[in-house]
């Protein structure tokens, strides 16, 4: 779903030809770097990344680099977002679990691809901010919860795909168990530097692992005592 100008005005930042032109240029850059899925490139052209960063950074929003967001988190560089999405290799209507909602840019790309999105954010302030932005932009995941991403969402599993947007030192077993047979998990594994990894569940207890280069992510924190509740509680 393309975001309308009315929705953009609601958050106080109107889209314009300058930003639209920069998105087209960014999509061309990503294509040259190996993003071949035209639906993903179309999402990059349509989703206004400047709405998902601090207004003071809007002029940098269409550079292919990570940018800081609140609570010492980051919004991943567009190439990373596009690559993780491409590695998922999912079709419209497939069910995907996102670990680490952040400011919601990756979620909005998945939404534009018409996937059924379940997403978890462990930082309460960021959860509240992103909930309000989603409401204003009319982005409605199937479920958006505040909680510990290492636990996933067992009651909503299994998933066709799981995408992890923070660096994990291990492969969380609970997340593996929530994949469908044939499903794929995209996860950066490592401490200081992470290796982008795709894990495909090829049987009930059999998994195939592929790697796609090194990246740097904020750490995926474990063992946080997060109260799990839906975004309906965000404004309480």
Task: Report how far residue 84's alpha carbon sits from residue 198's, in angstroms, rounded to the nearest whole number.
Answer: 9
76 catalytic, yes or no? yes
Enter the DSSP assignment of 13: -
87-to-51, 72, 80, 218 alpha-carbon distances in Å: 25, 27, 10, 20
Of 76, 157, 168, 231, which one is the catalytic site residue?
76
Phi, psi of 37 (to 5 degrees): -80, 110
Q: In what order do the strands lie in the sheet with 159-164?
A: 206-215, 194-203, 179-190, 159-164, 95-99, 116-121, 143-146, 229-230
Q: Is residue 178 a contact partner of residue 157, using CB atoms and an 8 Å limit?
A: yes
Task: Report how far residue 208's alpha carbon sits from residue 121's, in angstroms, rounded to the nearest whole number.
Answer: 27
Task: Report how far residue 232's alpha carbon sits from residue 229's, in angstroms, rounded to the nearest whole number.
Answer: 8
Which of 113, 122, 128, 116 lies closest to 82 in space, CA to CA?
Answer: 113
Looking only at Cα atoms, what is the longest distance across the chain?
51
Task: Report how far residue 149's alpha carbon sits from residue 175's, in angstroms, rounded to the nearest whole number.
Answer: 9
Tokens of 81: 């977002």
Task: Report how far residue 187's alpha carbon sits from residue 163's, in angstroms, rounded to the nearest whole number.
Answer: 6
Annotated catalytic residues are: 76
């Amino acid at each position: 779903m393309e975001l309308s100008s009315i929705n953009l005005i609601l958050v106080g930042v109107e889209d314009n030809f300058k930003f639209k032109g920069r998105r087209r240029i960014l999509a061309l850059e990503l294509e040259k770097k190996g993003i071949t899925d035209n639906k993903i490139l179309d999402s990059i052209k349509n989703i206004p990344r400047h709405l998902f960063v601090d207004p003071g950074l809007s002029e940098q929003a269409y550079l292919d680099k990570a940018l800081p967001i609140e609570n010492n988190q980051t919004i991943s560089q567009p190439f990373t977002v596009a690559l993780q999405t491409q590695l998922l290799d999912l079709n419209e209507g497939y069910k995907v679990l996102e670990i680490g909602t952040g400011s919601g840019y990756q979620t909005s790309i998945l939404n534009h691809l018409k996937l059924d999105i379940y997403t978890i954010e462990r930082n309460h302030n960021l959860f509240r901010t992103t909930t309000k932005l989603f409401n204003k932009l009319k982005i409605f995941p199937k479920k958006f919860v505040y909680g510990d991403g290492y636990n996933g969402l067992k009651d909503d599993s299994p998933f066709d795909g799981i995408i992890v947007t923070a660096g994990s030192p291990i492969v969380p077993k609970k997340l593996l168990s929530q994949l469908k047979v044939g499903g794929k998990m995209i996860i950066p594994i490592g401490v200081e530097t992470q290796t982008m990894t795709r894990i495909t569940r090829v049987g009930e207890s059999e998994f195939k692992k592929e790697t796609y280069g090194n990246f740097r992510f904020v750490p995926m924190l474990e063992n946080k005592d997060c109260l799990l509740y839906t975004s309906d509680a965000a404004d309480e």
